[in-house]
Amino acid sequence: MLLDLFEDFFAGKIAITDLVLNFVFVAVVVLFALSSHEAAHGYAAYKLGDPTAQRMGRLTLDPRAHLDPVGTIFMLIFGFGWAKPVPVNARYFKNPRKDMAVTAIAGPVCNLLISFISLIIYRVLLSAFGNVNFQSQFFFNIVIYTLELFSYCHFLNLYLAIFNLIPIPPLDGSRLMFIFLPDKYYFGLMRYERYIKILFFILLYMGIISGPLSFVAGKVSDLMGFIVGLVPGL
């Protein structure tokens, strides 16, 4: 994300004002997306009987409770990242594997909902102001920057959701996959989770995974756009 902005700036495609404002937009959206994701995990676990996250102050949108420095930097630069995992104690769950999966999937689902709502707001604003002949440059800029903010909110939340749905430990998608695995394979994978995590982040850093993730996110965005487009005027 930020790499694209800086490339456009040094290529002379955007002014310094646009660079600063878009940097602020990306930072705000990233903080909100990561915090919402982790708070959703904690709230799901709390509703399923685990008070651990609630006791540790993780049922909040305050970014200070959730941010992982490296994961936040990755999210700012590449659009894919992570936050500090919410602590979950499966001993509180009635059905540990199933409830762990529900807790894990709550984060990506929250981001998908935010992404979809942001797209709706973007389309509503575009429909309302797209053909307006602005007499004031100030109000024109306000509309443009608001559209950019919700565009970032749509894509960054979508990227975060798609990234975390990958069925590789320790990402959320692996917890969902574990429901369908026999116990011997489940515990076998958990034994090597640390090494799988290291390999995965190396591949992500090398850019090998970013392309496929962006492709999938684009297709999901197109699907969301099609659904929103079914509403007359949007």
Which residues are known to be catalytic? 38
- Kind and range of the H or E element at 133? none
One-character DSSP codes across 26-63? HHHHHHHHHHHHHHHHHHHHHHTT--HHHHTT-SS--G
204 touches 134 (CB < 8 A): no
Distance CA 199, CA 80 (A): 16
Yes or no: say if 175 and 99 are a contact pair by the CB < 8 Å rule: no
How far apart, in Å, are the Cα atoms of 85 and each of 7, 18, 222? 32, 33, 30
b/e map 217-233, b = 16+ CB within 10 Å: beebbeebeeeeeeeee
Token pair belonging to 70? 């490296």
